[in-house]
Amino acid sequence: MYAEGKVMSRIVATLAVCIWTASPSSWGAGIPEPDAILYGAVTLSGVQVHQRDSVVVLARLTGGQEIGRYDFGDCNGDGVRDLCELSCANPGCAGVAGCGTARDSFPADGLLDDCPGNLYALKVRCESTPAGVLPSGNAAVLNPLNPTVVRVLVRIAGGPERYVRNLLISERGKIRSIALSVLNLFSFREFATCRRGPGQTSPSGSCTADQFISSDYEDDGDVDLRDYAFFQNQFVGG
Protein backbone atom coordinates (compact mmCIF):
# COMPACT_ATOMS: atom_id res chain seq x y z
CA MET A 1 0.00 0.00 0.00
CA TYR A 2 2.86 2.37 0.79
CA ALA A 3 4.46 1.78 -2.61
CA GLU A 4 1.13 2.35 -4.36
CA GLY A 5 0.59 5.51 -2.33
CA LYS A 6 3.98 6.79 -3.41
CA VAL A 7 3.33 6.21 -7.10
CA MET A 8 -0.15 7.77 -6.97
CA SER A 9 1.13 10.87 -5.14
CA ARG A 10 3.85 11.26 -7.73
CA ILE A 11 1.33 10.88 -10.55
CA VAL A 12 -0.93 13.54 -9.03
CA ALA A 13 2.05 15.89 -8.71
CA THR A 14 2.96 15.23 -12.34
CA LEU A 15 -0.52 16.04 -13.57
CA ALA A 16 -0.67 19.19 -11.43
CA VAL A 17 2.21 20.73 -13.40
CA CYS A 18 1.08 19.50 -16.83
CA ILE A 19 -0.69 22.76 -17.73
CA TRP A 20 -1.29 23.10 -21.43
CA THR A 21 -0.36 26.39 -23.03
CA ALA A 22 -0.39 27.26 -26.71
CA SER A 23 1.42 30.10 -28.41
CA PRO A 24 2.15 31.12 -32.00
CA SER A 25 5.62 29.61 -31.65
CA SER A 26 4.10 26.14 -31.23
CA TRP A 27 2.13 26.42 -34.48
CA GLY A 28 3.37 23.86 -37.00
CA ALA A 29 5.23 21.72 -34.45
CA GLY A 30 2.52 20.00 -32.42
CA ILE A 31 0.87 21.44 -29.30
CA PRO A 32 2.08 19.87 -26.00
CA GLU A 33 -0.57 18.06 -23.95
CA PRO A 34 -0.44 16.45 -20.47
CA ASP A 35 1.58 13.24 -20.44
CA ALA A 36 -0.02 9.81 -20.56
CA ILE A 37 1.24 7.83 -17.56
CA LEU A 38 1.84 4.10 -17.32
CA TYR A 39 2.81 2.50 -14.02
CA GLY A 40 3.15 -0.91 -12.40
CA ALA A 41 5.60 -3.67 -11.57
CA VAL A 42 8.29 -5.04 -13.89
CA THR A 43 9.26 -8.71 -13.63
CA LEU A 44 12.28 -10.45 -15.13
CA SER A 45 12.03 -14.25 -15.22
CA GLY A 46 9.26 -14.01 -12.64
CA VAL A 47 11.29 -11.81 -10.23
CA GLN A 48 10.09 -8.26 -9.58
CA VAL A 49 12.48 -5.42 -10.35
CA HIS A 50 13.29 -3.08 -7.44
CA GLN A 51 14.46 0.49 -7.20
CA ARG A 52 18.24 0.75 -7.68
CA ASP A 53 18.20 -2.19 -10.12
CA SER A 54 19.84 -1.43 -13.45
CA VAL A 55 16.62 -1.52 -15.46
CA VAL A 56 15.14 1.15 -17.74
CA VAL A 57 11.60 1.21 -19.18
CA LEU A 58 11.25 3.12 -22.47
CA ALA A 59 8.45 4.30 -24.74
CA ARG A 60 9.20 4.65 -28.44
CA LEU A 61 7.16 5.55 -31.49
CA THR A 62 7.13 2.89 -34.20
CA GLY A 63 9.74 4.97 -36.03
CA GLY A 64 12.10 4.56 -33.08
CA GLN A 65 11.88 8.01 -31.48
CA GLU A 66 12.04 7.89 -27.67
CA ILE A 67 9.08 9.69 -26.08
CA GLY A 68 9.40 8.56 -22.47
CA ARG A 69 11.63 6.66 -20.05
CA TYR A 70 11.79 5.54 -16.45
CA ASP A 71 15.11 4.53 -14.88
CA PHE A 72 14.86 2.40 -11.75
CA GLY A 73 18.30 3.65 -10.70
CA ASP A 74 17.39 7.33 -11.24
CA CYS A 75 13.71 7.45 -10.37
CA ASN A 76 13.30 11.24 -10.56
CA GLY A 77 15.21 11.48 -13.84
CA ASP A 78 17.56 14.24 -12.69
CA GLY A 79 20.69 12.48 -13.95
CA VAL A 80 22.03 11.66 -10.47
CA ARG A 81 21.90 8.01 -9.38
CA ASP A 82 19.52 7.51 -6.45
CA LEU A 83 22.20 5.89 -4.29
CA CYS A 84 24.29 9.04 -4.62
CA GLU A 85 21.36 11.36 -3.96
CA LEU A 86 20.71 9.54 -0.70
CA SER A 87 24.31 9.70 0.55
CA CYS A 88 27.71 10.82 -0.69
CA ALA A 89 29.14 7.92 1.33
CA ASN A 90 27.60 5.27 -0.92
CA PRO A 91 30.03 3.49 -3.29
CA GLY A 92 31.10 5.63 -6.22
CA CYS A 93 29.27 8.71 -4.94
CA ALA A 94 32.02 10.77 -3.33
CA GLY A 95 32.37 14.06 -5.18
CA VAL A 96 29.33 13.48 -7.40
CA ALA A 97 27.38 16.70 -7.94
CA GLY A 98 24.05 16.51 -6.12
CA CYS A 99 25.06 13.69 -3.79
CA GLY A 100 23.43 13.63 -0.35
CA THR A 101 20.67 16.06 -1.35
CA ALA A 102 17.65 13.70 -1.34
CA ARG A 103 15.40 12.68 1.53
CA ASP A 104 14.37 9.26 2.77
CA SER A 105 11.92 10.20 5.47
CA PHE A 106 9.17 8.23 7.20
CA PRO A 107 9.05 5.38 6.66
CA ALA A 108 12.77 5.09 5.96
CA ASP A 109 12.95 2.44 3.22
CA GLY A 110 16.16 3.26 1.36
CA LEU A 111 14.21 5.00 -1.42
CA LEU A 112 13.92 8.65 -2.38
CA ASP A 113 10.72 10.26 -1.14
CA ASP A 114 9.70 11.08 -4.71
CA CYS A 115 10.18 7.51 -5.95
CA PRO A 116 7.13 5.32 -6.63
CA GLY A 117 8.29 2.46 -4.42
CA ASN A 118 9.38 -0.53 -6.50
CA LEU A 119 7.07 0.34 -9.37
CA TYR A 120 7.88 2.12 -12.61
CA ALA A 121 6.11 5.38 -13.54
CA LEU A 122 6.55 6.02 -17.26
CA LYS A 123 5.49 9.45 -18.53
CA VAL A 124 4.79 9.43 -22.28
CA ARG A 125 4.93 12.77 -24.10
CA CYS A 126 1.72 13.70 -25.94
CA GLU A 127 0.67 16.44 -28.33
CA SER A 128 -2.34 17.53 -30.35
CA THR A 129 -2.30 18.58 -34.00
CA PRO A 130 -5.27 20.78 -34.95
CA ALA A 131 -5.75 21.73 -38.57
CA GLY A 132 -2.57 23.30 -39.91
CA VAL A 133 -0.37 21.91 -37.14
CA LEU A 134 2.18 19.26 -38.03
CA PRO A 135 3.35 16.60 -35.55
CA SER A 136 6.77 17.12 -33.99
CA GLY A 137 7.69 13.46 -34.36
CA ASN A 138 8.73 13.38 -30.69
CA ALA A 139 5.38 12.71 -29.00
CA ALA A 140 2.26 10.58 -29.27
CA VAL A 141 -0.34 12.39 -31.36
CA LEU A 142 -3.77 12.41 -29.69
CA ASN A 143 -6.46 11.24 -32.10
CA PRO A 144 -9.36 9.14 -30.73
CA LEU A 145 -10.09 7.83 -34.23
CA ASN A 146 -6.49 6.83 -34.91
CA PRO A 147 -4.57 6.11 -31.67
CA THR A 148 -0.80 6.37 -31.73
CA VAL A 149 0.97 3.01 -31.39
CA VAL A 150 3.73 3.25 -28.79
CA ARG A 151 6.25 0.45 -28.25
CA VAL A 152 7.14 -0.26 -24.61
CA LEU A 153 10.62 -1.71 -24.12
CA VAL A 154 12.83 -2.76 -21.21
CA ARG A 155 16.63 -2.44 -21.09
CA ILE A 156 18.47 -4.56 -18.52
CA ALA A 157 21.93 -3.63 -17.20
CA GLY A 158 22.79 -1.57 -20.27
CA GLY A 159 22.01 -4.48 -22.62
CA PRO A 160 19.80 -4.47 -25.71
CA GLU A 161 16.24 -3.21 -25.48
CA ARG A 162 13.59 -5.92 -25.08
CA TYR A 163 10.27 -5.21 -26.82
CA VAL A 164 7.57 -5.94 -24.22
CA ARG A 165 4.24 -4.72 -25.60
CA ASN A 166 2.31 -2.09 -27.54
CA LEU A 167 0.41 0.79 -25.99
CA LEU A 168 -2.33 2.70 -27.83
CA ILE A 169 -2.54 6.38 -26.84
CA SER A 170 -5.42 8.63 -27.81
CA GLU A 171 -6.28 10.61 -24.62
CA ARG A 172 -4.44 13.37 -22.75
CA GLY A 173 -3.34 12.73 -19.17
CA LYS A 174 -4.64 9.16 -19.00
CA ILE A 175 -3.21 7.03 -16.18
CA ARG A 176 -3.03 3.26 -16.60
CA SER A 177 -1.69 0.46 -14.43
CA ILE A 178 -0.01 -2.27 -16.51
CA ALA A 179 2.47 -4.83 -15.20
CA LEU A 180 5.37 -5.50 -17.56
CA SER A 181 7.03 -8.89 -17.86
CA VAL A 182 10.08 -9.82 -19.92
CA LEU A 183 8.80 -12.99 -21.56
CA ASN A 184 9.63 -16.39 -20.06
CA LEU A 185 7.91 -19.73 -19.39
CA PHE A 186 5.99 -18.23 -16.47
CA SER A 187 4.67 -15.56 -18.85
CA PHE A 188 3.46 -18.29 -21.24
CA ARG A 189 1.47 -20.07 -18.52
CA GLU A 190 -0.15 -16.77 -17.59
CA PHE A 191 -0.89 -15.93 -21.23
CA ALA A 192 -2.40 -19.36 -21.94
CA THR A 193 -4.73 -18.90 -18.96
CA CYS A 194 -5.93 -15.53 -20.21
CA ARG A 195 -6.33 -16.14 -23.95
CA ARG A 196 -10.01 -15.98 -24.92
CA GLY A 197 -10.37 -14.76 -28.49
CA PRO A 198 -11.36 -11.71 -30.56
CA GLY A 199 -13.87 -9.35 -28.97
CA GLN A 200 -13.74 -11.09 -25.56
CA THR A 201 -12.81 -8.11 -23.39
CA SER A 202 -12.95 -9.57 -19.87
CA PRO A 203 -11.03 -12.38 -18.16
CA SER A 204 -12.46 -15.76 -17.24
CA GLY A 205 -11.44 -18.72 -15.10
CA SER A 206 -8.27 -18.21 -13.07
CA CYS A 207 -7.06 -15.26 -15.18
CA THR A 208 -7.14 -12.06 -13.10
CA ALA A 209 -7.98 -8.61 -14.45
CA ASP A 210 -4.34 -7.51 -14.12
CA GLN A 211 -3.09 -10.63 -15.92
CA PHE A 212 -5.61 -10.07 -18.71
CA ILE A 213 -4.39 -6.50 -19.26
CA SER A 214 -0.75 -7.64 -19.23
CA SER A 215 -1.51 -10.41 -21.76
CA ASP A 216 -3.15 -7.97 -24.19
CA TYR A 217 0.16 -7.20 -25.90
CA GLU A 218 -1.49 -5.27 -28.73
CA ASP A 219 -3.54 -3.14 -26.28
CA ASP A 220 -6.73 -3.65 -28.29
CA GLY A 221 -8.94 -4.89 -25.43
CA ASP A 222 -8.83 -8.66 -25.98
CA VAL A 223 -6.37 -11.55 -25.78
CA ASP A 224 -6.45 -13.47 -29.04
CA LEU A 225 -4.27 -15.16 -31.67
CA ARG A 226 -2.77 -11.82 -32.71
CA ASP A 227 -1.49 -11.42 -29.16
CA TYR A 228 -0.24 -14.99 -29.26
CA ALA A 229 1.69 -14.25 -32.48
CA PHE A 230 3.26 -11.25 -30.74
CA PHE A 231 4.10 -13.38 -27.69
CA GLN A 232 5.57 -16.20 -29.77
CA ASN A 233 7.73 -13.84 -31.81
CA GLN A 234 9.12 -12.14 -28.71
CA PHE A 235 9.61 -15.39 -26.78
CA VAL A 236 11.51 -17.09 -29.60
CA GLY A 237 13.47 -13.94 -30.38
CA GLY A 238 14.30 -13.25 -26.70
Which tens digits make up the pLDDT trace of 26-70? 445 789 999 999 999 998 877 888 887 889 999 999 999 999 999
Q: Indicate whether 113 pLDDT > 90.
A: no
- Stretch 161-183: mean pLDDT: 87
Strand order in the sheet with 175-177: 140-141, 120-128, 31-40, 175-177
Supply the mean pLDDT for the chain: 79
Q: Which of 182, 207, 227 is the last residue of a domain?
A: 182
Query: pTM for the complete prediction?
Result: 0.70
Q: How much is the pLDDT for 219?
A: 77
Residues 129 and 83 in one domain: no
Q: Indicate whether 12 pLDDT > 70.
A: no
Distances (CA, A) of 232 to 162, 177, 185, 188, 227: 14, 24, 11, 9, 9
Question: What domain range includes position 155?
Answer: 1-75+118-182
Q: Which residue has the higher pLDDT, 33 or 182?
A: 33
Residues 33 and 151 in one domain: yes
Residues 61 and 141 in one domain: yes
CATH code of the domain containing 161: 2.60.40.10
Q: How much is the pLDDT for 108?
A: 62
Residues 216 and 108 in one domain: no
Residues 109 and 163 in one domain: no
Quickly state the pLDDT bin for 18 (edges 50, 70, 90). Answer: very low
- Give me the number of domains the chain comprises: 3
Residues 84 and 192 in one domain: no
Residues 129 and 151 in one domain: yes
Residues 61 and 148 in one domain: yes
Q: How much is the pLDDT for 26?
A: 42
Q: How much is the pLDDT for 66?
A: 96
Q: Report percent pLDDT > 70 for the chain.
A: 76
Residues 3 and 64 in one domain: yes
Residues 87 and 203 in one domain: no
- Stretch 111-125: mean pLDDT: 83
Quickly state the pLDDT bin for 184 (edges 50, 70, 90). Answer: low
Residues 128 and 200 in one domain: no
Residues 85 and 15 in one domain: no
